[in-house]
């Protein structure tokens, strides 16, 4: 009797990364947009991570407070809030949001409990990250978490921040400031800018761009803020066809993208596509593609890839083509020097 062949076992699906804990700390009179805007951005990012099947952790949002209920700035009442956790998972993000100016002028008993809890945190240890929105930086200052760091806050509270944290270097005219694992942002909607920046660093610029598109927000940068990645730049528009094409270019920069193919994907003619790009994105299709390819190549170099491998990852036909594109956009140094700097960092 012939032996029955055993069927090969199906390939094992790698386990999904454990969700990243994002802990929003709420008080009475918290500005609703301070937490609702970033929370919505993180929720949408988790959906995009799943849709793109990325091997990065989605976000698990938690809302904690020193009291079980809290009333927001517009009168909305939040109930069943979690108590302040005794311990946080490794890699957690703690988000401190602002309060109304009237509330900031009268610190509450509950805030003293919050300050005591915060003072036990150590940003950077076990991957813990501190994020503040608007006057949430004042709460961090009261807990001593900004001593020796650079930080910003809402422009109306810059003097308050300097008074509460005399050892902090207060930065003006900034959308957000990073100092190690402490991220502080300016007023209200700047929290969304910071959330998108954090999403891009965690899950990639494409995820951040798609979230920004869904939220119909324009990414802002001040003169001292980090520049937008080419994968995020030129997407401050509401044209669905262009966004669809930009997504495709970001997902497959290695492929051949003649203008005719780009126009077909956008369901238009090459001439009209060039006009739409100029009108809505402020650049040309070819220049946008070059920026995407450069961003991918640069990211590969920073990850330790050789110049040849980075050229291939970015869709350049040769190392020479990558070097020419690098020089054409005015980036300092060269691909080789960028790789050396990343290895020395």
The CB density around residue 115, as the number of other CB atoms within 10 Å, is 18
Q: Beta strand 129-132 with 182-185: parallel, antiparallel or unpaired?
A: parallel
Is 225 within the bounds of a domain? no
Phi, psi (degrees; rounded to nearest 5) at 24 = -90, 125
Whether 85 and 145 map to the same domain: the answer is yes
User: Please, which residues bridge with residue 169 across strands?
Assistant: 150
Identify whether residues 200 and 247 lie together within a single domain. Answer: no
Does 201 share its domain with 255?
no
**Quick check: is 88 in a domain?**
yes
Domain containing residue 103: CATH number? 3.40.50.880
Helix (H, G, I), strand (E, B), or coil: what is residue 75? coil
What pLDDT, in 10s, does the model give residues 241-285? 999 999 999 999 999 999 999 999 999 999 999 999 999 999 999
Distance, in Å, from the CA atom of 309 to the CA atom of 297, rounded to the nearest integer, reads 8
CA distance 133 to 35: 8
* Residues 208 and 191 sit within 8 Å (Cβ to Cβ): no
Q: Which of 111, 123, 172 is nearest to 147 (CA)?
A: 123
Residue 9 lies in a domain: no
Contact 20, 91 (CB under 8 A): yes
In order along its 345 residues, the chain shows pLDDT tens digits of 455 555 555 555 556 679 999 999 999 999 999 999 999 999 999 999 999 999 999 999 999 999 899 999 999 999 999 999 999 999 999 999 999 988 887 766 668 889 999 999 999 999 999 999 999 999 999 999 999 999 999 999 999 999 999 999 999 989 999 999 999 999 888 999 999 999 999 999 999 999 999 998 877 776 677 778 877 889 888 899 999 999 999 999 999 999 999 999 999 999 999 999 999 999 999 999 999 999 999 989 988 899 999 999 999 999 999 999 999 999 999 999 988 887 776
Q: What angle do CA 180, 186, 191 make, to 5 degrees?
A: 80
User: What is the rounded CA–CA span in Å between residue 192 and residue 217?
Assistant: 9
| Model pLDDT, residue 173 | 87
Overall domain count for the chain: 2
Count the helices and strands in the chain (H runs, E runs): 14, 11
**What CATH number should be reported for the domain holding residue 307?**
1.10.10.60
194 shares its domain with 261: no
- CA-to-CA distance for 18 and 252, rounded, in angstroms? 27
Judgement on whether residues 198 and 248 belong to the same structural domain of the protein: no
Half-sphere exposure of 71 (CA within 13 A, CB side): 4
Of 326, 231, 207, which is closest to residue 281 (Cα–Cα)?
231
Structural domain of 281: 238-345
25, 94 Cβ separation under 8 angstroms: yes
What pTM value is reported for the model?
0.80
On whether both 129 and 274 belong to a single domain, the answer is no
CB atoms within 10 A of CB 56: 14
In this structure, the answer to whether residues 307 and 172 fall within a common structural domain is no
Q: How far, CA to CA in Å, does 154 sit from each of 50, 94, 166, 190? A: 34, 19, 17, 9
How far apart, in whole angstroms, are the C-alpha atoms of residue 246 and residue 283?
A: 12
Among 207, 226, 259, give the residue marking a domain's end.
207
pLDDT tens column, 96-105: 999 998 888 7
φ, ψ of residue 109 to 5 degrees: the values are: -60, -40
């Amino acid at each position: 009797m012939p032996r029955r062949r055993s069927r090969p076992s199906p390939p094992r699906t790698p386990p999904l990364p454990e969700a990243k804990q994002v802990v929003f700390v709420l008080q009475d009179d918290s500005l609703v947009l301070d937490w609702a805007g970033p929370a919505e951005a993180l929720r949408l990012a988790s959906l995009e991570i799943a849709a793109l099947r990325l091997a990065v952790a989605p976000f698990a949002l938690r809302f904690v407070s020193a009291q079980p209920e809290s009333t927001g700035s517009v009168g909305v009442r939040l109930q069943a809030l979690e108590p302040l956790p005794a311990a946080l998972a490794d890699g957690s993000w703690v988000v401190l949001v602002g309060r109304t100016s009237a509330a900031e002028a009268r610190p509450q008993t509950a805030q003293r409990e919050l300050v005591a809890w915060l003072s036990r945190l150590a940003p950077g240890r076990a991957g813990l990250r501190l994020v503040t929105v608007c006057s949430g930086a004042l709460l961090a200052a009261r807990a001593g978490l900004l001593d020796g760091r650079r930080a910003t806050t809402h422009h109306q509270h810059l003097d308050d921040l300097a008074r509460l944290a005399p050892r902090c270097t207060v930065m003006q005219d900034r959308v957000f400031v990073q100092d190690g694992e402490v991220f502080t942002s300016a007023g209200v909607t700047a929290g969304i800018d910071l959330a998108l920046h954090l999403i891009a660093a965690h899950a990639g610029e494409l995820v951040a761009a798609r979230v920004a598109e869904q939220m119909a927000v324009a990414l802002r940068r001040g003169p001292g803020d980090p520049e937008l990645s080419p994968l995020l730049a030129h997407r401050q528009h509401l044209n669905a066809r262009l966004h669809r094409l930009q997504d495709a270019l970001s997902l497959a920069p290695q492929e051949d993208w003649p203008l005719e193919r780009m126009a077909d994907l956008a369901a238009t003619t090459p001439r009209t596509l060039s006009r739409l790009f100029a009108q809505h994105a402020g650049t040309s299709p070819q220049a946008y593609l070059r920026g995407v390819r450069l961003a991918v190549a640069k990211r590969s170099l920073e990850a330790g890839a050789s110049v040849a491998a980075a050229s291939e990852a970015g869709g350049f036909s040769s190392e020479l083509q990558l070097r020419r594109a690098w020089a054409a956009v005015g980036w300092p140094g060269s691909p080789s020097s960028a790789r050396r700097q990343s290895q020395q960092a």
